[in-house]
Amino acid sequence: MSRAALLVLADGRFPAGGHAHSGGAEAAVKAGRVTGAASLEDFCRGRLHTAGRVSAALAAAAVLGVDPVRLDAAADARTPSPALRATARKLGRQLMRAARATWPSSELDALAREFPKGAHQPVVLGLAARAAGLGALDAAYCAAYESVSGPASATVRLLSLDPFDATGVLARLAPELDLVADQAVEAARECVDAGVDALPAASAPLLEISAEAHAAWAVRLFAS
């Protein structure tokens, strides 16, 4: 395996559609909940420990060989908002395209056949990491980091926030990312024997509710 493949997969410029999504930041900005670097940090911390934690565990479990179809159903069950489920599948489909072109693999091909309109993005992310020769912890890091890097870069555009402040937020969250990634791998290992119920099911009601509202806006900068 090449550890450097993780840099390719985690790069914000990896062409998998993420740039059009704010991870809930656009709705939070509009509602006045994110107004600057400090509140962005709170928002990202909340997302990391809920959506981020679940995504990281799903991705790690996919790397460990847990059946992706069962993982996809587990992701559905952990995502109450239909708008967020649709977004996760859209992003999963886009990641699938990029991953298949980058690291051709029969497992990715099989998942694409099973879910022509997209499986949940963290499940695809796990199989993409596996195709790239990466491990469960790598995939968990990738998912956890994406859960905060998306909102941070979107907020730079939404609030004209100083980009150095946004990067500082991400750097300050790094120790918590370590923790979430480690715990995600632990849960994923448990899931190998105990099934998908061993995966975390943390959820942020406000993220789910505001995603529904956001999906109905007529004018918005980001798709989610």
Residues that bind other proteins (CB under 8 A): 13, 15-22, 90, 93-94, 96-98, 100-101, 103-106, 109-110, 112-113, 116, 131, 154, 157, 218-223
Query: By C-beta, is 157 or 189 nearer to other proteins?
Result: 157
Query: By C-beta, is 66 or 154 nearer to other proteins?
Result: 154
Q: Would you tell me how many other CB atoms lie within 10 Å of the CB of residue 10? A: 19
Query: By C-beta, is 27 or 187 nearer to other proteins?
Result: 27
Q: Which of 215, 217, 216 is nearest to 90 (CA)?
A: 215
Please, are residues 93 and 120 in contact by the beta-carbon 8 Å criterion?
no
Shortest distance in whole angstroms from residue 22 CB to other proteins: 7
- What backbone torsions phi and psi does residue 101 show, to the nearest 5 degrees? -75, -30
Query: By C-beta, is 13 or 171 nearer to other proteins?
Result: 13
Shortest distance in whole angstroms from residue 132 CB to other proteins: 9
Q: Is 6 exposed, middle or buried (0-12, 13-18, 19+ CB in 10 A)?
A: buried
Shortest distance in whole angstroms from residue 182 CB to other proteins: 27
Shortest distance in whole angstroms from residue 94 CB to other proteins: 4
Query: By C-beta, is 105 or 203 nearer to other proteins?
Result: 105
Radius of gyration of the chain (CA): 16
Distances (CA, A) of 95 to 29, 89, 90, 198: 27, 10, 9, 26
Query: By C-beta, is 119 or 198 nearer to other proteins?
Result: 119
Residues 6+ apart with CB under 8 A from 84: 207, 208, 211, 224
- What backbone torsions phi and psi does residue 114 show, to the nearest 5 degrees? -70, -35
Token reading at 104: 């051709």
Shortest distance in whole angstroms from residue 183 CB to other proteins: 29
Shortest distance in whole angstroms from residue 144 CB to other proteins: 21
Shortest distance in whole angstroms from residue 139 CB to other proteins: 16
Distance CA 111, CA 103 (A): 14
Q: Which residue in the block uniquely carries the two structure tokens 């509602």?
A: 31
Query: By C-beta, is 85 or 97 nearer to other proteins?
Result: 97
